[in-house]
Chain A
Amino acid sequence: MTAIPTQHGYVGRPVPRVEDAALLTGSARYADDLPVKPGTLHAAILRSPHAHAELLGIDTAAARTVPGVAAVITGEEAKRFSSPFLVGVKAPMEHWCLAVDRVRYVGEPVAVVLADSRYVAEDALDRIGARYRPLPPVMTFDQAFDAASEPLHPALGSNLVNRRDFTYGDVDGAFAAANWRVSVEVEFPRNSCTPMECFVVLADFDAAEGGYEVLSNFSGPFAVHPVMARALKVPGSKLRLKSPPHSGGSFGNKQAVFPYIVLMGVCARATGRPVKWVEDRLEHLMAATSATARRMALEAAVAADGRVLALRMEQTEDCGAYLRAPEPASLYRNHGNLTGAYDIPTLSVVNRIVLTNKTPTGLNRGFGGGQLYYGLERLMHRVAVELGLDPLDVIRRNLVPAAAMPHATASGGSLDSGDFHACLEEAVERGDLEGLKAKRDAARAEGRLYGIGYAAVVEPSVSNMGYITTVLTAEERRKAGPKNGAQASATVAVDPTGGVSVSVESVPQGQGHRTVLAQVAADVFGLPMEQITVVTDFDTAKDAWSIAAGNYSSRFAGAVAGTAHLAATRLRDRMARLAAPQLNVAAEELVFAGGKVFAAGNPDNALSFSRVAAAGHWSPGTLPDGQEAALRETVFWTPEPLKAPTDADHINSSACYGFIIDFCGVEVDRDTGRVRIDRYVTMHDAGRILNPLLAEGQIQGGFAHAVGAALYEEYAYGDDGRFLSGTFADYLVPTACEVPVPVILHRESPSPVTPLGAKGVGEGNCMSTPVCLANAVADALGVETVTLPLTPHRVAALIHGEEPPRPAGSTAPARPAAATGKPGGRGLTGEGSRAVPATPEQVWAILLDPKELAALLPGCEALDLVGPNAYRAEVVVGVGPVRGRYVAEVALSDLDPPNSLTLSGSGSSALGTGRGSGHVTLERHGDGTLVTYRYTAEVGGKVAAVGGRMLDSAARLIIGQFFDKLIARAGGPEAVPERPSLLARLLRLLGIRP
Chain B
Amino acid sequence: MKPAPFDYLRPATVADALAALAAGGDDARLIAGGQSLMPMLNMRLVTPRTLIDLSALPELRRVEVADGWLTVGAAVTQNELLARPTLATEAPLLAAALPWVGHFQTRNRGTVGGSVAHADPSAEIPLCLVALEGEVVLRSARKRRTVPASGFFIGPLTTARAADEIVEAVRFRLRKPGAAYGFREMGMRHGDFAITALAATVEADRIRLSVGGVADRPTARDWPRLEGAALDEALNAFAWDLGGDDDQHATATYRRTLVRRLGRAVIEDAQTELTP
Contacts and interface: CB of A to CB of B under 8 A. Distances in A.
Interface of A: 118-119, 122-123, 126, 280-282, 671-674, 712, 714, 716, 724-725, 727, 729-730, 732, 734-735, 737-738, 791-793, 796-797, 800, 803-804, 806-807, 810-813, 815, 817-818, 823-826, 879-883, 910-911, 942-943, 946-954, 956-957, 960, 976, 978-980, 985, 989-991, 994
B204 interface: no
Interface centre among A282, A672, A910, A956 (most CB of B within 10 A): A672
A796 B257 contact: yes
B147 interface: yes
Given A810-B240, A949-B247, A738 B190 contact: yes
Interface of B: 1-5, 29, 37, 39-40, 43-48, 118-119, 121-122, 147, 150-151, 154-160, 162, 186, 188-193, 195, 215-216, 219, 233, 236-237, 240-243, 245-254, 256-258, 260-262, 265
A947 B36 CA distance: 12
Contact of A716 (B1, B233, B248): B248
Contacts of A881: 29, 37, 40, 45-46, 48, 157
A765 B252 CA distance: 34
Top 4 nearest A-B pairs (CB, nearest first) are A880-B157, A953-B216, A793-B254, A823-B246
Given A672-B186, A732-B188, A793-B254, A943 B236 contact: no
B129 to A, nearest CB: 16
A991 B257 CA distance: 19
A806 B247 contact: no
A976 B195 CA distance: 28
A119 B44 CA distance: 11
Nearest to B118: A880
Contacts of A826: 246
B5 A803 contact: no
Contacts of A281: 1
Contact of A950 (B48, B157, B258): B157
B186 A792 contact: yes
A953 B121 contact: yes
B255 to A, nearest CB: 8
A991 B243 contact: yes
B27 to A, nearest CB: 10
Contacts of B189: 712, 732, 734-735, 737-738
A989 B37 CA distance: 28
Contacts of B162: 978
A191 to B, nearest CB: 13
16 contacts: A119-B2, A725-B248, A807-B236, A807-B240, A818-B251, A823-B251, A826-B246, A880-B118, A910-B44, A948-B248, A949-B121, A950-B156, A954-B156, A956-B155, A978-B162, A991-B215
A880 B119 contact: yes
B245 A952 contact: yes
Contacts of B243: 812-813, 815, 991
A793 B258 CA distance: 10
Nearest to B190: A737
Contacts of A803: 253, 256-257
Nearest to B261: A671
Contacts of A282: 1, 43
A994 B256 CA distance: 19
A989 B188 contact: no
Contact of A815 (B186, B249, B252, B254): B252
B237 A672 contact: no
A818 B216 contact: no
Classify the secondary structure of A's interface with B. loop
B193 A807 contact: no
B271 to A, nearest CB: 17
Contacts of A989: 219, 241
B67 to A, nearest CB: 22
A792 B157 contact: no
Nearest to A119: B2
B246 to A, nearest CB: 4
Contacts of B261: 671-672
B45 A942 contact: yes
Nearest to A988: B154
A882 B45 contact: yes
Given A122-B1, A824-B246, A880-B118, 17 more contacts: A119-B3, A282-B1, A727-B39, A793-B254, A803-B253, A807-B237, A812-B241, A815-B245, A824-B248, A825-B246, A879-B155, A880-B119, A880-B159, A949-B193, A952-B247, A953-B121, A989-B241
Contacts of A960: 155
A994 B155 CA distance: 8
Contacts of A734: 189
Contacts of A738: 189-190
A524 B262 CA distance: 63
A957 B151 contact: no
A674 B185 CA distance: 12
A718 to B, nearest CB: 9
A804 B253 CA distance: 10
B240 A957 contact: no
B151 A985 contact: yes
A281 B43 CA distance: 10
B251 A793 contact: yes
A503 to B, nearest CB: 35
Contact of A817 (B45, B48, B253): B253
Nearest to B213: A949
A716 B250 CA distance: 12
A953 B156 contact: yes
A957 B258 contact: no
A913 B147 CA distance: 36
B158 A879 contact: yes
Given A674-B186, A946-B43, A978-B162, A956 B216 contact: yes
A505 B215 CA distance: 55
Contacts of A732: 188-189, 192, 249
Contact of B188 (A712, A804, A880): A712
Contacts of B247: 724, 823-824, 948-949, 951-952
A960 B216 CA distance: 13
Contact of B158 (A674, A727, A957, A980): A957
A192 to B, nearest CB: 15
Given A980-B151, A991-B241, A730 B160 contact: no
A792 B248 CA distance: 12
Nearest to B250: A793
A952 B244 CA distance: 9
B25 to A, nearest CB: 13
A552 to B, nearest CB: 28
A943 B121 CA distance: 17
Nearest to A813: B243
B241 A979 contact: no
A876 to B, nearest CB: 10
A830 B148 CA distance: 29
A122 B2 contact: yes
Nearest to B37: A881
A280 B251 CA distance: 30
Contact of B156 (A791, A825, A879): A879
A810 B256 contact: no
A614 B242 CA distance: 81
Contact of A671 (B44, B155, B262): B262
Contacts of A883: 46-47
Given A280-B1, A671-B262, A738-B190, A730 B240 contact: no
A957 B155 contact: yes
Nearest to A885: B47
Nearest to A804: B236
A769 B108 CA distance: 36
Nearest to B241: A812
Contacts of B155: 879, 953-954, 956-957, 960, 994
B1 A792 contact: no
Contact of B121 (A815, A942, A946, A950): A950
Contacts of B43: 282, 942, 946
Nearest to A670: B261
A114 to B, nearest CB: 15
